[in-house]
Structure 1
Amino acid sequence: MLLKEVKNIFHAELDAIYGKDEVNSFFYLLIEHYFELERFVLALQPNLNIEKEQETILFKALSELKLHKPIQHITGIAYFMDLDFAVNEHVLIPRPETEELVRWVLDDVKEVKHSLNILDMGTGSGCIPISLDKNLLDAKVYALDVSPQALVVAEENNRTLGANVTFVKADMLSLHSKTAAKELDQKFDIIISNPPYVRELEKAEMQNNVIDHEPSLALFVPDKDPLKFYKAVVNFASEHLNKNGCLYLEINQYLGEETKQILQQSNFKTIDLRPDMFGNDRMIKGIRK
């Protein structure tokens, strides 16, 4: 079968769901991932034939896309901070907004001369701490998550990407209990977190590929207490950050001021609320007094 014919079938089946440009992106990503074919291959070889086995792979992906399965789950890879992270249904797919949070940290520490002690709370795939570890060679980076399945993915990424993050199984809502890991009983220069923050009432705004295929544990919070994870993170950070240490949070765009108030009422100063690339309140930084 001609590759261009498969591409036409992708558009016929998927354009109504995703739009032409997104389907183009899916198609070229798949042929690059599975067959190492560059996206300009059809311009150079318009009558390129593919093998039956290759057809099977592409049509399987097509069927999964029709069911709103994320392309990152089909390939098993998500691109973040110039690195390829393994992902599956047990971890959130890294978002561009989270890259902005990581780059904020990296920009802030450019002039720091001493090694940094860093903790990521609610790590998922490990994309945040691994990216920091790869960019801050002298840093000691720790990360926690409550999900054993997520930590398996994070540890795999740690090995594959040649990072040296220490991962800890811990629940950020009960870090003050006697069962809290000893690795967390220390002072940090930076604490960073992208905790669950989507309220149940906001589900209607979300796409099916997120609701049906990404872990609810990492996404949703109850409407009656949507900032419970932020309260826990701020409480922990107020005790475990060094003086003038920094707390960085990704936040719910609708709860920027409310999140800011949590830091103001705790042991933090110079609180900075920032928008993401789309103009939504998405990140907040506080400096420990």
Structure 2
Amino acid sequence: MLIKEFKTQFFTELSELYPQTEIQSFFNIIIEYKLNLTRIDVALQPDFEIKSVDLNFLKNALSELSKFTPIQYIIGETEFFGLKFKVNKNVLIPRPETEELIQSIIEDSKNLGEIKILDIGTGTGCIAISLAKNLPNATIFALDISSEALKTAKENALLNNASVKFIEADILNLDELPSTYSIIVSNPPYVRELEKQHMQKNVLDNEPHLALFVEDDNPLLFYNKIGDLAKKHLSSKGNLYFEINQYLGKETAELISEKDFKNVQLKKDMFGEDRMLKASI
């Protein structure tokens, strides 16, 4: 099949499911991933002949997109903070908002001496690995309940030549942390069940619910537990960083303030939503 023929089929089959700009983005991603062709290459070589083995992959990708499978899961990777990360259905796909959280930590920490950082609920390892690559003064630890997620995170650490020490544990059942840390950071589950109706089908049907959802009647469960542990295991002048539910910024800040943390700050993301919280011991 010629690439121009596949492009026509691709756009036709997805036209009623996604906006045109998103379809174009999907097409560019899978063509560059599988055929190593840029958008300009496709425009200049409309009669490029796709090999049958590659066509099978491309047609399967089209089928998966028709079922709202995220493009990142289809190609098995994504870019985050300038790094490449493997992704699969055992881990959440890293979001751009989390890059802002990481940038904030780097700015606050780059001029410090030797520090220890713990990332709770690491998933792909995107927070821990990005910090390890950008803070040579830091020793990084990353914790997750899921052995499958940790397997992916370890692969990503190797892929990016990053030194991270991984811990398998259920944070909700821990009474103590393994050490004392200069920084504790977490992007825990925070989406309430009632918010499912506002979520996209590709997220609901594919990404791990263990890493996404909390019960409506206890939405700050993880923040409460991590806050208590951080109170005991942050070193003097240590900092706690959270990514938070945009609808519960005030409530999260109040919860952390009630634990006698100092300088509790809510920070907005690029979309103007309450997305990050920082507090000091």
> Could you say which TM-score interval applies, normalised by the shorter chain?
over 0.9
Matched, 1:93 2:93: yes
The 8 Å contact of residues 268 and 274 in structure 2, kept in 1 or not, is answered as: yes
2:225 to 224, 232, 236: 232
Q: Give the aligned partner of residue 35 of structure 1.
A: 35
CA distance in 1, matches of 2:15, 2:241: 38
1:84-123 aligned within 5 A: 84-112=84-112, 114-123=113-122
Deviations 1:221-257 (A, max 9, x none): 0001000000011111111111211111000000000
Q: What is the TM-score of this pair, normalised by structure 1?
A: 0.95
Q: Give the aligned partner of residue 192 of structure 2.
A: 199
Shift of 1:46: 2.6
1:1-289 aligned within 5 A: 1-112=1-112, 114-176=113-175, 184-288=177-281
Shift of 1:45: 1.6
CA distance in 1, matches of 2:5, 2:210: 41
Q: How many residues align?
A: 281
CA distance in 2, matches of 1:265, 1:224: 19
Moved more, 59-68 or 39-48: 39-48
Q: What is the TM-score of this pair, normalised by structure 2?
A: 0.98
Q: Which runs of 5+ in 1 are unaligned?
A: none
Q: Which 4+ stretches in 1 moved above 6 angstroms?
A: none
CA distance in 2, matches of 1:29, 1:219: 26
The 8 Å contact of residues 142 and 165 in structure 2, kept in 1 or not, is answered as: yes
CA distance in 1, matches of 2:49, 2:270: 41
Shift of 1:134: 0.7
Shift of 1:276: 0.9
Moved more, 115-124 or 36-45: 36-45
Equivalent position amino acid for 2:190 in 1: Y
Secondary structure at the counterpart of residue 39 of structure 2: coil
Deviations 1:248-285 (A, max 9, x none): 10000000000001110013111110111111111000
Equivalent position amino acid for 1:115 in 2: E
CA distance in 2, matches of 1:16, 1:275: 34
Equivalent position amino acid for 1:7 in 2: K
CA distance in 2, matches of 1:194, 1:31: 32
CA distance in 2, matches of 1:267, 1:175: 21
The 8 Å contact of residues 110 and 135 in structure 2, kept in 1 or not, is answered as: no
CA distance in 2, matches of 1:135, 1:260: 28
CA distance in 2, matches of 1:268, 1:78: 35
Equivalent position amino acid for 1:167 in 2: F
Equivalent position amino acid for 2:223 in 1: Y
Secondary structure at the counterpart of residue 195 of structure 1: coil
Equivalent position amino acid for 1:263 in 2: I
Equivalent position amino acid for 1:26 in 2: F
CA distance in 1, matches of 2:4, 2:264: 53
Shift of 1:39: 2.0
Percent of pairs identical after alignment? 50
Deviations 1:48-105 (A, max 9, x none): 2212222211111000000011101000001111111011001000000111111111
CA distance in 1, matches of 2:90, 2:58: 24
